Chain A
Amino acid sequence: MAFEYPEDLKYLDTHEYVRLDGETAIVGITAFAVDQLGDIVFLELPEVGDTVEKGEKFGTVESVKAVEDLKSPVNGTVLAVNLPLLDTPEALAEDPYGEAWLIKVQIDDPADLEDALSVEEYRAQVEGE
């Protein structure tokens, strides 16, 4: 199945994406990840002011069949959390790149994203899976 992967995003091989807005990183998970998980039922996210570490867990997403860690693409401080999504995690299936973002992070060092995947690299990875 083909999924949408917006051109202007950076991706992790663990299926998170980053949308850069100045020095703010908007972090979410890709349509591929949402599809793989199946019916999403539970989401755990950090609180505003928490720090996140590149490559480290910042939360979890849980579906009927699996629970998976969410990995941060950058070092930084959480500026905002998508609180409504905690009550309606199933909305991730509708608009993972828009309304259903997860957290916004103040980035410590933009160079953190240099090794993130481009859309072409990410698409090549998931279409090989």
Chain B
Amino acid sequence: MDDRDAPALAIEPGPLKRTPLYEQIAAQGARMTEFSGWEMPVQFTGITHEHQAVRTAAGVFDISHMGKFYLQGQRLLAQLQALVPSDLSRLQPGEAQYTVLLNPQAGIIDDLIFYYQGVDSAGVETGWLIVNAATKSKDKAWILGHLEPTGLTFQDVSATKSLLAVQGPRAIAQLQPFVPIDLTSIPVFGHCLSEILGTPAFLARTGYTGEDGFEIMVEPETGQHLWRSLLEAGVTPCGLGARDTLRLEAALGLYGQDMDDHTTPLEAGLGWLVHWDSKGDFIGRSVLEQQRQAGVSRKLVGLQMQGRNIARHDYLVFHAGKPVGKITSGTLAPTLQRAIALAYVPTDLAKVGQTVEVEIRGKLYPATVVKKPFYRRPA
């Protein structure tokens, strides 16, 4: 057999980095893979098993590879406003906004979450940015290049803090015994400073699976202790394989595949991040205005294959015998038991119900444009 599906990810030169959980994860027999310069678990027992655990109970992921920036400064929100299309001035302390950094062409530099912590009596505002691992250095340079350096604190704690995601319908119940506050009192996309196992912890009700749950930033020793404790309580350890199938069923984009420097939020289905009316200028705004007026020429759509063949990253999408677009992500959706994919197609082919074809190993297979997300958790 020939492996021709090696992940096409930007690997930084030098040895692979390991998170503080590496020893525990390796000792559990997880299969490891390279991801953005990190040696990360792709699966423990199996992608489908881990996926179902998160959909029906609770799973825990080591996501310590992600970039973690602590920011503090006068007019921090007002300055960050210029870098993102979302209106950060709407945020109250304890709220968060998923958004994107845009270049002048309105291309997406990265997608990230900004967690606003609040303002002190001197007017100093504080917040966290959690960004993708592969884009961390690029984001840091871009942000530092655009913020007023006087009085600004920018700490890159990516290497010194651990980040765990506990996700699934049972996630909160499983996490509650280790936390002194009532976790259900934190709203979705809310966050707070509290404690885990008696040590300081940042707790955020966010995730990347389409399920309820928390993302938890702690010191490495606390992270190791929490990982062990959750597993003892019956939470399923999950790898990046299940993280990918879970986020794809929920139609959550993956940076570098479903969006990049050459796609705009309007093309990527992230138009809801652009708060046209309530905020002023931001980098990329004029290009987005033009796109909004003229209409985008292509759109990211959800595809469902009619058969079991999986349409994968970079496979061509055809219509009327001609290549018209490309698959950006695809998998066999474990919950749905259907092959699903995200693809960029011309706007006139982006309507739900439209039939297209995907070229898989030299043959064309029918697919239908379907509504996103592919999976929505029961209310």
Stretch at the interface among A33-41, A77-85, A104-112, A120-128: A33-41
Contact B308 A68 (CB under 8 A): no
Give the contact-size bracket for chain B.
20 to 34
> B42 an interface residue at 8 Å Cβ cutoff?
yes
Shortest A43–chain B CB gap in Å is 9
Interface flag for A19 (CB, 8 Å): no
In the complex, chain B residues whose CB is within 8 Å of the CB of A16: 1
- The reply to whether B3 and A66 contact each other, CB–CB distance below 8 Å, is yes
- Within the complex, the shortest CB–CB distance from A39 to chain B, in Å, comes to 5
The answer to whether A64 touches B1 (Cβ under 8 A) is: no
Instruction: List residues of B (1-34) whose CB comes within 8 Å of A's CBs.
Output: 1-5, 29, 31
Residue of B nearest to A63 (CB): B47
Residues of A15-32 at the interface with B, using a CB-CB cut-off of 8 Å, are 15-16, 29
A47 within 8 A of B: no
B2 close to A69 (CB less than 8 A): yes
B299 interface residue per 8 A CB criterion: no
Write out the residue numbers on chain B whose beta carbons fall within 8 Å of the beta carbon of A60.
Answer: 361
Contact A42 B332, beta carbon cutoff 8 Å? yes
A41 touches B332 (CB 8 A): yes
Summarize B's interface: helix, strand, loop or mixed.
loop
Question: Which residues of the other chain, B, contact A39 by a CB distance below 8 angstroms?
Answer: 46-48, 334
Decide: A64 and B2 in contact? CB cutoff 8 A. no
Minimal Cβ-Cβ distance residue in B for A33 = B1
Smallest Cβ distance from A10 to chain B, in angstroms?
16
Bound-state Cα–Cα, A33 to B1, Å:
9
User: Is B245's CB under 8 angstroms from A70's CB?
Assistant: no
Classify the interface of chain A: helix, strand, loop or mixed. strand
Per the bound structure, the CA–CA distance linking A124 and B173 in Å amounts to 47
User: Taking the nearest CB of chain A, how far is it from the CB of B128, in angstroms?
Assistant: 31
Q: Which residues of A contact B5 (CB under 8 A)?
A: 65-68
User: Does the CB pair A42–B309 fall under 8 Å?
Assistant: yes
Interface string of B178-205 (1 = CB under 8 A from A): 0000000000000000000000000000
User: B86 at interface (Cβ–Cβ under 8 A)?
Assistant: no
Q: A14 to B2, Cβ gap below 8 A?
A: yes
Minimum distance in angstroms from A51 CB to a CB of chain B: 18
CB neighbours of A69 from chain B (8 A): 1-2, 4
Contact of B93 with A by CB under 8 A = no
A29 → chain B, closest Cβ, in Å? 7
Residues of A within 8 A of B31 (CB): 38
Q: Which residues of B contact A44 (CB under 8 A)?
A: 361
A5 to B312 alpha-carbon distance, docked (Å): 32
6 chain-A/chain-B pairs, Cβ below 8 angstroms: A42-B308, A64-B47, A64-B332, A64-B334, A67-B4, A71-B1
Nearest first, the 4 A-B pairs at minimum CB distance are A68-B1, A66-B5, A41-B332, A69-B2
- Beyond contacts A38-B31, A67-B310, A67-B312: 4 other A-B pairs, Cβ-Cβ < 8 A, are A39-B48, A39-B334, A61-B1, A64-B331
